[in-house]
Amino acid sequence: MKCYICRREEAVVRIEGKNYCKDCFLKLYEKRVEKVIKKWKLIENGDRVMVALSGGKDSASMLYFLNKYKKAVDFELEAMFIHLWIPEYSDLALEKSKELTKMLGIKLHIVDIKKGTGKTLIEIARSNRRRAICSICGIVKRYYMNKHPRERGFNKIATGHNMDDILEFFIKNFIDRNFEWNDKLKPIVPSTHPKLLTKIRPLYECSNVENYYYAKFNLLPFIESKCPFSKISKWKNIVECFDTNIPGSKRQFTRTIEELNFSVKEPEYKQCKICGELTTSKNGICSFCKLIHEN
Ligand SMILES: [Zn+2]
Ligand SMILES: [Zn+2]
């Protein structure tokens, strides 16, 4: 089958019912990411951007693209990896992150939770049995992704959330009437407090499959196995149904989410009594310190 764009080369990927050759796919992908970055002003001259690497295909693709994007915009780019000590996973994910940043010549910050808290993720989970380990992991990662780059003078943190992640969160939150969370499910969440970094999601309009091919075609090192704690999500199946039935509807849905406004009032922040980071909790102790110190 020939490529839908150039009509010359043999097609190697099929996206939204159309077939593309490698080169046309790569160009299309980059054009798409660039459009989101420009439309929402994710990165501008003088920004200091920290990329959160997980070792997976999404954040690897993002770092590779942003490194290329430095030719167009003058900004600083470094990467961080949070070592959670998940057996047979974290070490390998770190190895891949090291390989990738070495290949691109980008500085890698390694944040070791054992050094920061004295505990591994599993040990934290053991003393917080009421919480699911994935929710604990989320709290720990969000904490360090905000604190570590901010303390080093960065003004933006970039995460590899993709279109499928966004749709899954959105539908789940929407059904739960969690409008507050959906209000922050945007390509950019601007800082509203000096202690809060601006969050950016450059891969907002790229799917799982597209990020996979982008990483593969550019020969990026990434971990293909899933975190041993990740479960099969039924929400993912629901999201997949959109494109199986109507190709392209996932992207259309995502673009609608970008434009939505839930008019949620910004919460009142206090500084955590233990660590000084921000919290909205009544007792003034942030969710990270609750995990670490209250058990
Ligand atoms: Zn082509
Ligand atoms: Zn705290």
Assess whether pLDDT exceeds 70 at residue 177: yes
- Identify the pLDDT of residue 295: 62
Query: In angstroms, what is the span from residue 2 Cα to ligand 1's centroid?
Result: 8
Q: What is the pLDDT of residues 239-274, one digit of tens each?
A: 999 999 999 999 999 999 999 988 888 889 999 999
- The percent of residues in the chain predicted with pLDDT above 90, rounded, is 92
CA of 53 to the centre of ligand 1 (A): 30
Share of the chain above pLDDT 70, in %: 100
- pLDDT at residue 262 in the model: 86
- Kindly provide the residue ranges of all beta strands, DSSP E only, lying in 191-259, ordered along the sequence: 198-200
Ligand nearest to C-alpha 272? 2
139-153 core/surface letters (b: 16 or more CB in 10 A; e: else) = bbbbbbbbbbbbeee
Q: How many Å lie between the centroid of ligand 1 and the Cα of residue 72?
A: 24
pLDDT at 36 over 70: yes
10: CA distance to ligand 1 center in Å?
A: 7
What distance, in Å, lies between the first and last C-alpha atoms of the chain? 60
Of 233 and 290, which is predicted with more confidence? 290
User: What is the crossing angle of helices 22-39 and 57-69, to 10°?
Assistant: 70
Ligand 2 centroid distance, CA of 124 (Å): 15
Closest ligand by atom to 18 CA:
1
pLDDT surpasses 70 at 18:
yes
**What distance in angstroms lies between residue 16's CA and the mean position of ligand 1's atoms?**
15
Kindly give the distance from the C-alpha atom of residue 292 to the centroid of ligand 2, in angstroms, as a whole number: 9
Question: Contact at 8 Å (CB) between 83 and 90?
Answer: yes
Q: Which ligand lies nearest to the CA atom of residue 147 in the structure?
A: 2
Q: Is the pLDDT of residue 194 over 80?
A: yes
Give tens-digit pLDDT for 113-123. 999 899 999 99
Judged by its nearest atom, the ligand closest to the C-alpha of residue 13 is 1
More confident residue, 188 or 226: 188
Distance in Å, CA 11 to ligand 1 centroid: 7
User: What is the pLDDT averaged over residues 208-237?
Assistant: 94
Mean pLDDT across the chain: 95
